[in-house]
Amino acid sequence: MKNKFTDKDRILMVQELEKIQKINILPIKPSRKLFKDTNGLLYLISGGTEDWHGINSNLIEHLKDLNKESAFIIAKKYETRIELYAGSLIEFIKIKDKLVRTKQGGYQFHCVLTGNGLYLKEDNNFFCNLIHIIQFPDSKKNINKLNEISRIINIDIQNDVPLSHSDIQAKLLLIGSYLNYRTYTPDQSKFSAIFNKQLGELCSEKRIPVESIPSLSIETVKFVDVIWFDEEGYPTHAFEVEHTTDITKGLLRLYQIYKLRIKMFVIADESNRQKFNREIVKTPFTKIKNEFIFKNYNELDDFFQSVKYFSKLQEKFLGL
């Protein structure tokens, strides 16, 4: 489940705002969202992981006659950071009648992110500037995970051992994880003989991070052989390994997710390159033929060996 925005996150936000404003900020109970600094400036702080926020009617009623400039703070929480946006609380109260009313009588609004801030879907004239980003520190657990990945990558593999479909998936998962992508395969229980691990032990995700993927694409994404995701859970690279199966089926799976603007790879033996080239000029692939990328096993192994070499250098230099 995606991390929720918690009271601990709100406290962290207040502490950061105190540093920015160089003033103490105290809660106004019983509200969890309303604060006041020692100069009397109000702060309405709304945080979440989604793009919508809710404010109860009692709080809006309390603020409806506000006549002193105050701050409206919106926080967007990601896996690795919290972004803080600030706007005018007086102006927000003025547009309350444009907001969505809930069945419970509360108010709901939706944020649309831009390059330097956000505006409200309900009134695109109301703008909040990005004022600060709180980065979460790397945890010891993440360092240990990197060490474990490095250890597996550096297992000696006999060059004359034929690779299975699962072995190729395993290499893709290990490369992705080492490059700090979140990784997933639907074949969690399959076994890689060369690494002596189930694929589920080599990927970071036990399920698709569906929160960052359009619902219409989820059913296709979850069957792709290997997927890499960015830190927020959005898919960035998709790999279909065509070891003994038909390249056309792999292309069809990739074709169904191309609107995600994801890099799409077919990994196969070099002998299949001509078949790949013939297929991508057929319907429906031809209109996006340049977006499909073919890589053979030797090219994948070169990439794997470069990661292996770098991991050894990193371990030696940094003493990991």
For the chain of 320 residues, list the mean pLDDT of each consecutive stretch of 10: 76 92 92 91 91 90 87 89 93 94 91 88 94 74 68 78 91 92 94 93 87 73 91 88 84 89 93 94 94 95 91 73
CA-closest candidate to residue 91, choices 53, 131, 63: 63
Q: Do 150 and 256 fall within a single domain?
A: yes
Say if 2 falls within a structural domain.
no
Task: Verify that 174 and 299 share a domain, yes or no.
Answer: yes
Q: For position 1, what pLDDT does the model report?
A: 40
Within a domain: 225: yes
Q: 314: which residues sit within 8 A by CB, 6+ positions away?
A: 150, 320
**pTM for the predicted model, two decimal places:** 0.60
N-term to C-term CA, the chain:
31
Q: Is residue 217 part of a domain?
A: yes
- Scanning the structure block, which residue is given the tokens 């069809």? 252
Show the beta-strand stretches assigned E in 168-255.
182-184, 191-192, 197-198, 226-229, 235-242
Distance of CA 276 to the CA centre of its chain: 31
Under DSSP, the state recorded for 1 is -
Do 174 and 109 fall into the same domain? no
Q: How far apart are CA 46 and CA 32, in angstroms?
A: 9
Partners of 192 in the beta sheet? 197
| Within-domain flag for 1 | no
89 and 202 both lie in a single domain? no
Query: Domain tally for the chain?
Result: 2
For residue 138, report the phi and psi dihedrals to the nearest 5 degrees.
-60, 140
47 in Cβ contact with 74 (< 8 Å):
yes
CA angle 265, 275, 284 (to 5 degrees): 65
Secondary structure letter of residue 111 according to DSSP: E
Among 101, 135, 169, identify where a domain stops.
135
**pLDDT for residue 245:** 67
What does the alpha-carbon distance between residue 24 and residue 186 come to, in Å, rounded to a whole number?
Answer: 50
Please state whether 319 falls in left (phi above 0), alpha (psi between -120 and 50) or beta: left
Domain identity same for 241 and 296: yes
Looking at the fold, whether 29 and 147 belong to one and the same domain comes out as no
Closest CA to 201 of 214, 211, 188: 188
Q: List the beta strands (DSSP E) in the chain.
A: 25-27, 34-37, 42-48, 52-55, 71-77, 81-88, 100-101, 107-113, 117-120, 123-135, 182-184, 191-192, 197-198, 226-229, 235-242, 263-268, 292-296
Is 23 within the bounds of a domain?
yes
Residues 214 and 66 in one domain: no
Residues 275 and 223 reside in one and the same domain = yes
Q: Does residue 150 belong to any structural domain of this protein? A: yes
Residue 280 included in any domain: yes
Which domain does 191 fall in, by range? 140-315
Burial of 209 (0-12, 13-18, 19+ CB in 10 A): buried
171 beta partners:
none
Phi, psi of 25 (to 5 degrees): -125, 125
Boundary of a domain, candidates 135, 168, 198: 135
Whether 166 and 80 map to the same domain: the answer is no
Place of tokens 């540093």: 19
Does the residue 149 lie in any domain? yes
Q: Is residue 199 domain-shared with residue 103, that is, in the same domain?
A: no
Q: Are residues 150 and 173 located together in one domain of the fold?
A: yes
- 286: which DSSP letter? G
Clarify whether residues 34 and 83 are in a common domain. Answer: yes
CATH number of the domain enclosing 130: 3.40.210
The residue from 103, 135, 167 where one domain ends is 135
